[in-house]
């Protein structure tokens, strides 16, 4: 069956718990025995990517057939059966993750090469180097896309990692579509999408990207890697290939300029990494935060540890305004760059990097109840709280922007909002005047509440569920 919406019902957090509950039923004893037996026998074999992939795909397929014929799923809809398959894949691959992820030395070498290359190139690449039109350039949206891609190492299940890629691609796709509508241009295609994805990937520089993509290819159920999902995944594979083979010609540069930029980036990052240990700990001196080793940390193979994999240390990222220095001038200007006031992008990247290094990063977001909600989950009673949160967030954003001396950017509009904007302007003018007065009162009232709730979410990524990956066991009652 062609599944055109692989992240439909199976996106709901209840899917995972529903699978575990069914597996705990006495009638599921044979399933539990088969699953655990497969995990044990698989783990005892020497790593062989092709054989391992085939074994997992065959096991998942056979088990899903068995689910359909079992009384536990009697009378269930196709959607519920799909959800059962998703739960099975997540359980099995969470258990096998330490055994199969980045298990081949050659893959680890490519990970390191790709990570290092992106760390250098991100210091000097500009949208113009990839022929990205000014119409499609939006640093705010790109930062959102980067953050989604950087979450990929927070998860173990192939589907959850794939959601991070899809979220990133959806942000880019919506940006391009909105921009083309605003400019009265034809809808963007692959020629516009891929360069932006390449740029975002380089700027995000997610550790172990090569191993993550191979992991999804090998262990995501092939029957679900279709349609839009397959399109976006193919594009990220193309982006990786482009970056691995990137050279002066690919960036529309002269060879000498490209080599000078690479040498300058290498010297700069080497200096920052070496000097970071000597920086004072006071906040007013820590302007280059988290400057650590450029070499990605490999994931531990200890199967007794059930915590989510952490994002390894990354090269410190420079702001888009940071100018590279010539090789002869590098040593003299390193100190100045160390104490350069960071941009908002620098601060956000630094914070995101620190967040992803925490052992239970996703648990932090539990204090923000709407972060993983969809539109259909909201009620009328939620509107007032959301509005107050929004006002509080805007106030903080504007104050921060003013303090940094940069221009404030308006929020992204959805496609429907963009199309209807001009039609509604006259009607909304009088309403906005009244709301402006009320906004001032409510903003002052709620300034001390400390409530923050701000993350643009295209697809729900089950962060609240994934924090417990590996801790859920299946056993019949």
- pLDDT tens per residue, range 440-470: 445 444 444 433 333 334 344 444 444 445 5
Mean pLDDT, residues 188-197: 94
CA distances from 34 to 30, 125, 160 (A): 6, 51, 24
The secondary structure element, H or E, covering residue 143 is helix 139-150
Query: What whole-number distance in Å separates Cα of residue 370 and Cα of residue 366?
Result: 9
pLDDT value of residue 321: 37
- pLDDT tens per residue, range 266-286: 998 887 666 555 544 433 433
Mean pLDDT, residues 218-233: 94
Structure token pair of residue 220: 């995501």
- pLDDT tens per residue, range 63-74: 999 999 999 888
pLDDT value of residue 84: 92
Is the model's pLDDT at 226 over the cut of 70?
yes
Long-range CB contacts (< 8 A, 24+ apart) of 162-165? 162/216, 162/220, 162/225, 162/229, 162/233, 163/7, 163/11, 163/459, 163/460, 163/461, 163/462, 164/461, 165/216, 165/232, 165/233, 165/236
More confident residue, 31 or 289: 31
pLDDT value of residue 154: 95
- pLDDT tens per residue, range 87-126: 999 999 999 999 999 999 999 999 999 999 999 999 999 9
- pLDDT tens per residue, range 309-355: 333 333 333 433 333 334 444 444 444 443 444 555 556 666 655 65
**365 confidence band (pLDDT: 50, 70, 90):** low
pLDDT value of residue 197: 98
As a whole number, the mean pLDDT across the chain is 74
């Amino acid at each position: 069956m062609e599944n055109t919406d692989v992240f439909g019902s199976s996106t709901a957090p209840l899917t995972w718990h529903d699978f575990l509950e069914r597996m705990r039923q006495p009638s599921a004893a044979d399933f539990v025995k088969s699953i655990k037996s497969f995990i044990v026998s698989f783990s005892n074999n020497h790593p062989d990517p092709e054989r391992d992939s085939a074994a997992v795909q065959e096991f998942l397929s056979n088990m899903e057939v068995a689910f359909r014929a079992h009384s536990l799923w009697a009378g269930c809809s196709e959607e519920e059966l799909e959800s059962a398959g998703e739960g099975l894949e997540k359980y099995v691959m969470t258990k096998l993750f330490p055994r199969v992820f980045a298990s081949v030395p050659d893959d680890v070498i490519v990970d390191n090469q790709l990570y290092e290359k992106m760390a250098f190139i991100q210091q000097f690449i500009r949208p113009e180097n990839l022929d990205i039109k000014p119409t499609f350039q939006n640093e705010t949206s790109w930062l959102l896309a980067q953050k989604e891609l950087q979450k990929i190492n927070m998860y173990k299940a192939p589907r959850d990692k794939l959601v991070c890629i899809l979220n990133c691609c959806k942000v880019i796709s919506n940006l391009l579509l909105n921009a083309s509508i605003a400019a009265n241009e034809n809808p963007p295609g692959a020629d516009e999408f891929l360069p932006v994805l390449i740029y975002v990937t380089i700027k995000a520089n997610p550790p172990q990207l090569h191993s993550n993509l191979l992991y999804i290819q090998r262990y995501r159920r092939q029957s679900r890697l279709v349609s839009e999902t397959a399109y976006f995944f193919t594009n990220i594979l193309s982006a990786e290939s482009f970056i691995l083979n990137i050279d002066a010609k690919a960036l529309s540069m002269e060879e000498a300029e490209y080599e000078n930029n690479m040498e300058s980036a290498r010297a700069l990052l080497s200096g920052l990494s070496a000097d970071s240990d000597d920086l004072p700990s006071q906040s007013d001196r820590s302007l280059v935060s988290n400057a650590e080793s450029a070499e990605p940390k490999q994931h531990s193979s200890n199967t007794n540890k059930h915590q989510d994999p952490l994002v390894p240390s990354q090269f410190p990222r420079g702001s888009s305004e940071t100018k590279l220095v010539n090789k002869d001038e590098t040593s003299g200007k390193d100190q100045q760059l160390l104490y350069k006031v960071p941009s908002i992008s620098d601060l956000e990247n630094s914070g995101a990097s620190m967040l992803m290094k925490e052992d239970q990063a996703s648990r932090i977001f539990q204090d923000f109840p709407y972060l993983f909600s969809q539109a259909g989950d909201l009620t009328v009673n939620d509107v007032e709280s959301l509005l107050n949160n929004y006002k509080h967030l805007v106030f903080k954003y504007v104050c921060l922007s003013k303090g940094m001396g940069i221009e404030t950017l308006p929020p992204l509009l959805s496609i429907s909002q963009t199309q209807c904007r001009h039609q509604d302007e006259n009607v909304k003018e009088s309403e906005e005047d009244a709301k402006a007065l009320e906004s001032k009162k409510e903003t002052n009232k709620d300034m001390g509440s400390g409530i923050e709730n701000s993350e643009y979410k295209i697809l729900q990524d089950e962060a609240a569920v994934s924090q417990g990956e590996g801790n859920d066991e299946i056993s019949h009652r």
